[in-house]
Structure 1
Amino acid sequence: MNKLNTILGAIIVLFTVACEGPQGPPGFDGRDGLDGLDGLDGIQGQVIEVEGVNFGYDAVNNLYSTLINFSDVTNFEVFESDAVLVYRHDGLIDLNDGTTADAWSQIPQNYFLNEGIIQYVFAHTFVDVELFIDGNFDLSVLDPGFTDNQLFRIVIIPSEYAEGSKMDMSNLESVMSNLGITEEKVMKLNLN
């Protein structure tokens, strides 16, 4: 019985070794993909700074508006499901250590003036973002400091990340930190 098992084992070993043939020619290399950005599980966001934004007055509707097309400021693909946040630059603030820092306010943002109230608001699609200044008084007399040469940051957050995130979206620094975007990675566009 031992001889039979030994002979049977040897035949099985020879059969499995004998099934291997010569190595074939190598296959073609695959196409190189685009280099990815550092991010969380392949999810990336985008921060775009748009300087020199000037609003046009619409007398019929008594509001100011301006349109920013995403294709004019980035080649980043925006999807309908992505979250879009907009922040307006309020100026520089002095810090305790003698330095200054940029102050950003998330839109919508209200301003209470002697004439009444104005509000910066926006609407977006996956193609563009439209910024508005609405108010409860005749906006034709609005100070150009609110309408001319404005600075905004537009943040595009992929829906997969926005849905599960618990970041403080009212704080631009927090949003950028959560997305892993540093000041050096902010895309800048000057409309002047």
Structure 2
Amino acid sequence: LRGQDAPIGYTSGNNKPVDSVSAFNVHSLVIEVPISHVTKDNLGPTATDEPVIGTWAGTRRPTTTVLAADGEATEQVTYKQVSRLGMPLVNEVVIPMGLKDTFNAIPPSTDLDVYGLLQQSVEDPELATLLCALYGVPVPNPDPGKACHTQFTAGTPASGRADIFSIFITGIK
């Protein structure tokens, strides 16, 4: 359902829910497993300190065939990750345009290694800046001199929307 809250900076909006998947095929992959099998220590959600379940999916394609100068074809039988999805719209909304392919190529296990880059993308998203600059959609910022930027300071974990960023790295407990 969508259209339930007004956009940020607007006092009213379309508050009527719309079922945007009605009359369309929706593809789901559902797996049923004992809850104790999905926690890190196999204790179940109430008996563990880490009750977070993290999932993601990736799309891979075969690598290309390379033709040498002599016409000899070298074919690799490996697959390359070209897309990943763990939280919907992260790639579309949060990751800057110039980094989308790089982000899609790495597994989530390396997100902590590129912590600073992801932090800036989450707390001061490029899309929000563009929407503000092009269409005047306000971005939350207490500094009126920087109307189209959040209060992000690189290398400062508690700046901007650190609450959102911690969800990206650790999930919701």
TM exceeding 0.5: no
Q: Write 1 or 2 for the structure with the bigger share of strand.
A: 1
Q: Write 1 or 2 for the structure with the bigger share of helix.
A: 2
Q: What range is the shorter-chain TM-score in?
A: under 0.3
Larger radius of gyration: 1
Structure showing greater relative contact order (alpha-carbon pairs closer than 8 Å, 6 or more residues apart): 1
TM superposition score normalised by structure 1: 0.25
TM superposition score normalised by structure 2: 0.26
